[in-house]
């Protein structure tokens, strides 16, 4: 039996759409918090295969989802490039920011630092049900670069926009470094047993139009090409969050098999034969009840007959009651 998520990514519609959720593993689950409490450092937590396997499987076990997503973080790539990455309690990620050519010159990708991730993938594959496919992932270059340059999440990304406009050569070099590292990392994930791959472009929404080709379309296309050259059968999902107006070109020019869609975008209006994934507002999952069930049914109906993967428009919010996820999955499968 071909797993449903994988047949949908080949362009075949499913009677009942496969479902998984971004950030399906995490602090909204008490069993996650219990394991996390014993691990001080989040990067080391991600790089401890026994813990990462267990945390990856927790939501799949609890909700019988159609996919597991590898438990890791997009900031493991800057870590493997030699940048200092840490997670300040209650503040989100922090990095020692890179702002100039000297900082960039120091970066060198050490694949061996991410070898534990490949152990995690093998461990998850050995334990997964027949239903669930394992999705590996990485951040896309622009999104990872925003963290590397800004040193934190933020919202306006002024420093990277300044760099991209005023020092195009340096910016291109940074994109090259990230394209190469991310391609190797994803190829290694597929080698280890990841059955699909997702590229998170979480900050596509802050890319100025005049930079979109250089910052998003071209780097993404280069990664997809590199991965497909080694693993032509492993589908790639791209998630250009906040860039609804670019979805047509993103679908056509990057080579992705599926497109993740945020909750701001009218998913049913997107004209493509490729698989679409999304896009329930995470707030509805937080609230639960009839509002959640009605919106879920409406979305399933709107996407009927098309290759569609049910997901949120962004990650599960931390205060979400786990029971709401069970209600959502039941509503989709009813």
| Residue choice 200, 212, 250, 308 for contact with ligand CP3 (CB under 6 A) | 200
Provide, rounded to whole angstroms, the least separation between the CB of residue 104 and ligand CP3. Answer: 21
Catalytic residue flag (residue 147): yes
**DSSP 3-state of 168:** helix
Whole-angstrom Cα Rg for the chain: 19
**β partners of residue 88:** 92
Candidates 28, 32, 109, 147; catalytic one: 147
Provide, rounded to whole angstroms, the least separation between the CB of residue 124 and ligand CP3. Answer: 11
Site string for ligand CP3, 98-137 (x = CB under 6 A): ---------------------------------------x
299 binds ligand CP3 (CB under 6 A): no
Distance CA 53, CA 127 (A): 9
Distance CA 308, CA 289 (A): 23
Helix, strand, coil shares of the chain, percent, nearest 5, are 50, 15, 35
User: Which of 334, 327, 280 minimizes the C-alpha distance to 302?
Assistant: 280
Hey, what's the torsion of the CAs at 67, 46, 49, 25, to 10 degrees? -30
* 311, burial (CB in 10 Å: exposed 0-12, middle 13-18, buried 19+): buried
Mark the segment that binds ligand CP3 (CB under 6 A) among 72-80, 121-129, 170-178, 323-331: 72-80
* 187, burial (CB in 10 Å: exposed 0-12, middle 13-18, buried 19+): buried
Nearer to ligand CP3, 204 or 267 (CB): 204
Provide, rounded to whole angstroms, the least separation between the CB of residue 332 and ligand CP3. Answer: 18
Catalytic residue flag (residue 64): no
Catalytic residue flag (residue 94): no
20 binds ligand CP3 (CB under 6 A): no
Mark the segment that binds ligand CP3 (CB under 6 A) among 5-13, 66-74, 222-230, 266-274: 66-74
Decide: 98 and 203 in contact? Cβ < 8 Å: no
Nearer to ligand CP3, 115 or 317 (CB): 317
Provide, rounded to whole angstroms, the least separation between the CB of residue 239 and ligand CP3. Answer: 8
Mark the segment that binds ligand CP3 (CB under 6 A) among 25-33, 216-224, 266-274, 286-294: 25-33
23 binds ligand CP3 (CB under 6 A): yes
Decide: 199 and 259 in contact? Cβ < 8 Å: no
* Six-digit token string for 108: 């060198």
Q: Which residues are catalytic?
A: 23, 27, 36, 73, 147
Q: Which residues bind ligand CP3 (CB under 6 A)?
A: 22-27, 36, 42, 69, 71, 73-75, 87, 92-93, 137, 153, 200, 202, 315, 318
């Amino acid at each position: 039996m071909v797993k449903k998520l994988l047949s949908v990514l080949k362009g075949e519609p499913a009677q009942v759409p496969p479902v998984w959720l971004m950030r399906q593993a995490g602090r909204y689950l008490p069993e996650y918090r219990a394991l996390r409490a014993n691990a001080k450092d989040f990067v080391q937590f991600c790089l401890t295969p026994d813990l990462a396997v267990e945390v990856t499987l927790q939501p799949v076990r609890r909700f019988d989802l159609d996919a597991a997503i590898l438990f890791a973080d997009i900031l493991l790539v800057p870590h493997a490039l030699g940048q200092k990455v840490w997670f300040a309690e209650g503040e989100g990620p922090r990095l020692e920011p890179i702002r100039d050519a000297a900082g960039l010159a120091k970066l060198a990708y050490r694949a061996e630092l991410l070898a534990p991730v490949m152990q995690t993938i093998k461990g998850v594959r050995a334990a997964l049900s027949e239903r669930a496919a394992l999705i590996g992932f990485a951040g896309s270059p622009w999104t990872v670069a925003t963290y590397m340059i800004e040193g934190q999440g933020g919202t306006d990304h002024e420093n990277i926009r300044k760099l991209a406009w005023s020092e195009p050569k340096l910016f291109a070099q940074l994109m090259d470094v990230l394209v190469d590292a991310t391609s190797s990392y994803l190829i290694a994930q597929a080698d280890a047993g990841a059955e699909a791959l997702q590229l998170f472009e979480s900050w596509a929404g802050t890319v100025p139009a005049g930079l979109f080709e250089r910052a998003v379309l071209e780097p993404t296309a280069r990664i997809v090409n590199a991965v497909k050259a080694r693993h032509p059968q492993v589908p790639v999902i791209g998630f250009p969050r906040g860039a609804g107006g670019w979805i047509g070109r993103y679908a056509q020019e990057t080579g992705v098999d599926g497109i993740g869609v945020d909750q701001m975008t009218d998913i049913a209006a997107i004209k493509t034969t490729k698989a679409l994934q999304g896009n329930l507002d995470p707030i509805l999952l937080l609230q639960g009840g009839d509002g959640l069930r009605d919106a879920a049914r409406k979305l399933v109906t709107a996407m009927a007959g098309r290759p569609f993967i049910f997901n949120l428009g962004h990650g599960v919010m931390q205060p979400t009651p786990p029971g709401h996820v069970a209600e959502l999955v039941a509503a989709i499968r009813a």
